[in-house]
Amino acid sequence: GGVTLSGGEPLAQPEFAAGILKKCRSAGFHTALDTCGYASWTTAREVLRHVNLVLFDFKHMNPEIHEKYTGVSNELILQNAEKIHHEMSIPMRARVTLVPGFNDSTENIRATAEFIAEKLSNAIPVHLLSYHRLGEAKWERLDRKNETAAIEIPGEKQLAECRRIFESFGLTATIGG
């Protein structure tokens, strides 16, 4: 057991995140941060000082496509992933949520696997997560059009093929997690 901060994005509230993680860790709790890594290195480092494990979300490897769908390039994000692993040596788990039509192309999956294996370490476990529809009720409550309604949920065959690609780079990949 332990305490995991997730979001939204915990690094968007760094003082709160660092404060609660510090108190939890000093009380003997295992601490984890679920992040996309989008923050200045100074901000991220201050929060990460209190973390035992990083769950790092990889969305898309192409900086232009990443920016189109998330509003920001992935350059800072990928730099932070490298710094977390190489400078802070915090154990990391890579998380990839497969969203059909966004990041599920063979090209992007291969690029993600290559980055993790070559820029980080092939000892980092990869968790492949399937896009789900749990957030659809929020669209209704906000009385807004559901912009994600047409997205299909990836099937087992697609998830297994993605796992095979990650494994071809020497990575251990798990469906779920």
Nearest of 80, 30, 23, 79 to residue 51 by alpha carbon: 30
Q: Two tokens at 98? A: 């497969």
Q: Give the pLDDT score at 151.
A: 59
Report the candidate in 97, 50, 57 with the shortest Cα–Cα distance to residue 80: 57
The DSSP element (H or E) to which 98 belongs, if any, is strand 92-98
* Residues 37, 78: Cα–Cα separation, whole Å: 8
Helix (H) or strand (E) holding 140: helix 136-141
Instruction: Convert the pLDDT of each residue in 75-134 to its tens digit.
Output: 999 999 999 999 999 999 999 989 888 899 999 999 999 999 999 999 999 999 875 555
The mean of the pLDDT values for the chain is 90
Distance separating alpha carbons of residues 100 and 158, to the nearest angstrom: 10
Written as one letter, the residue type at 38 is Y
CA distances from 6 to 12, 125, 152, 170 (A): 11, 19, 25, 28
pLDDT digits (tens, 9 = 90+) for 128-162: 987 555 555 665 666 666 555 555 766 788 889 99
Band (pLDDT 50/70/90 cuts) for residue 7 is confident
- Integer Cα distance of 12 and 59 in angstroms: 17
pLDDT digits (tens, 9 = 90+) for 24-34: 999 999 999 99
